[in-house]
A and B are shown apart, each in its own frame.
Chain A
């Protein structure tokens, strides 16, 4: 199970299959990052369901234009919904005061589902879904190296850019390392381990990984110093915006403004 989890995680993080061909893939990464950030902010700012649905549809429309299979995108975005949003939104229909839709009674216990609660649960789930879909879209259509370049050009703090780049580069190695450790552990297991034994060996594995990560970190730092690193990272990337990029930015801003208008002019439900 641990091996499967690590394999899936690796494929999820390092999937650059769709990052080169398609409409969104051609957009300047800075423009894409800012535009999608604006769409995510508007998804967070609106409270009604209509604009959230439109934003979600926008993500799917961008996805289709970027040659990403819709089924794959649907699965990729919904996989996080039950884990993150579900836990929070599940109790909402029962605890939010409002007009009762259904009442269930069992002895002295009475559980009521309210329409306000159901609305809040739907709204929260949709908001999370829209934000996740837009973020996944950004990741799928952008090579990570371009994403880092965009962060550099947008003057993100240097330390943040470096840490993101190095984390991305080395998390791959550590997943591989963890995978090999899991294999080695499994190869020596004769009978099914008890839960406690499993937890203990997993804890040992995590501790070993931490030590290895620390040691590798030291070596990487030495390798950087050996090539003249003195604390400042410089890069050579040149980025230019084209009409296509401005077009994408305009469309995104218009969608954001339209959604905010729907929200604040109370045009939606």
Chain B
């Protein structure tokens, strides 16, 4: 019997997308994401990450290949169902917040779903609460700070109660405090709503906070996929994709290479680095656990 966790959330088979000007944005991409998984699409600027997210939401029709979301093919007949299930948070919140007040923006999606008014209200209130923006209902979007705008943009999508959340460069223009809050918010959403999270980013330090698995995209091609540690420890791959491992990982790489310190498991986050340092301190840096 197939367990619930292993059900496929997104399936992309041989997808290519060519812009009208002939520019090939993505080519022969294959991807499979299970329900409740947290995946990062990592790549430099112009790699085709945003285009891939647009294809998943049905905004762009692939030139070749097939996309299925929760078992439903993404095509003209199923667009409504797909968009109810797949929430896309754009990189620039000012693109997503287009109404005179935040309340109008939050209600926009649920109203388009044709839900009864009471349900729209309930979902909108819940979405605002989930992102910590209660009391901001009547605020015009241009009066919000960058961090608030980002959370508001997420709330506009959460109100539709999607099963899959797509985030395009979520940390763009965020200060450390707002970045921390965003990470917590995404953790909570994943834990409480069991949402499948797909984050497109080039922010390597953010990836370990929001993903367990990575697909590396470069020039429209998936050049690698795997678990975080496996991907970030491959320095050749990182260099090929014009990326670097997270700063903590780089530090430990240097310690291991130049100071001959035995690293048990390459840390990706501060917490993992602290544990590794404690272990090294305990064993004098010469033994593995």
Interface residues of A (CB under 8 A from B): 14, 143-145, 148, 165-166, 168-170, 172-173, 216, 219-220, 222-230, 234-236
> Contacts A216-B95, A227-B83, A227-B157 given: A169-B142 contact, CB under 8 Å?
yes
Asked if B190 is an interface residue, CB under 8 A from chain A, the answer is no
Name the residue on A nearest B166 (C-beta).
A226
In the assembled complex, the Cα of A256 lies from the Cα of B31 at a distance in Å of 69
| Contact residue among B83, B87, B104, B112 (Cβ-Cβ distance under 8 Å from A145) | B104
Which residue, A170, A219, A230, A236, has most C-beta atoms of chain B within 10 A?
A236
Residues in B whose Cβ lies below 8 Å from that of A225: 59, 83
| Contact residue among A168, A216, A223, A228 (Cβ-Cβ distance under 8 Å from B112) | A228
Asked if B88 is an interface residue, CB under 8 A from chain A, the answer is yes
Asked if B90 is an interface residue, CB under 8 A from chain A, the answer is yes
By the criterion CB–CB under 8 Å, are A235 and B57 in contact? no
By the criterion CB–CB under 8 Å, are B142 and A173 in contact? yes
Name the residue on B nearest A229 (C-beta).
B112
Tell me the minimal C-beta distance from B152 to chain A in angstroms. 13
By the criterion CB–CB under 8 Å, are B88 and A226 in contact? yes
By the criterion CB–CB under 8 Å, are B156 and A227 in contact? yes
| Contact residue among A169, A227, A230, A236 (Cβ-Cβ distance under 8 Å from B140) | A169
By the criterion CB–CB under 8 Å, are B59 and A222 in contact? yes
In the assembled complex, the Cα of A192 lies from the Cα of B88 at a distance in Å of 48
By the criterion CB–CB under 8 Å, are B117 and A236 in contact? yes
In the assembled complex, the Cα of A173 lies from the Cα of B143 at a distance in Å of 11
In the assembled complex, the Cα of A222 lies from the Cα of B87 at a distance in Å of 13
| Contact residue among B83, B92, B100 (Cβ-Cβ distance under 8 Å from A219) | B92
For B, the interface residue count at a CB cutoff of 8 angstroms equals 36
Q: Which chain B residues in 126-147 approach chain A with CB under 8 Å?
A: 138, 140-142
By the criterion CB–CB under 8 Å, are A219 and B140 in contact? no
| Contact residue among A14, A145, A165, A168 (Cβ-Cβ distance under 8 Å from B138) | A145
In the assembled complex, the Cα of A227 lies from the Cα of B59 at a distance in Å of 10
> Can you list 13 contacts pairing A with B, beta carbon distance less than 8 Å?
A144-B140, A169-B99, A172-B142, A220-B95, A220-B98, A222-B95, A223-B96, A224-B108, A226-B88, A227-B108, A228-B84, A229-B108, A235-B111
Asked if B113 is an interface residue, CB under 8 A from chain A, the answer is yes
Residues in A whose Cβ lies below 8 Å from that of B92: 219
In the assembled complex, the Cα of A13 lies from the Cα of B96 at a distance in Å of 22
Asked if B109 is an interface residue, CB under 8 A from chain A, the answer is yes
Given contacts A222-B54, A230-B112, 9 further A-B contacts (CB under 8 A): A145-B100, A165-B100, A216-B94, A224-B98, A227-B83, A229-B112, A234-B111, A236-B107, A236-B121
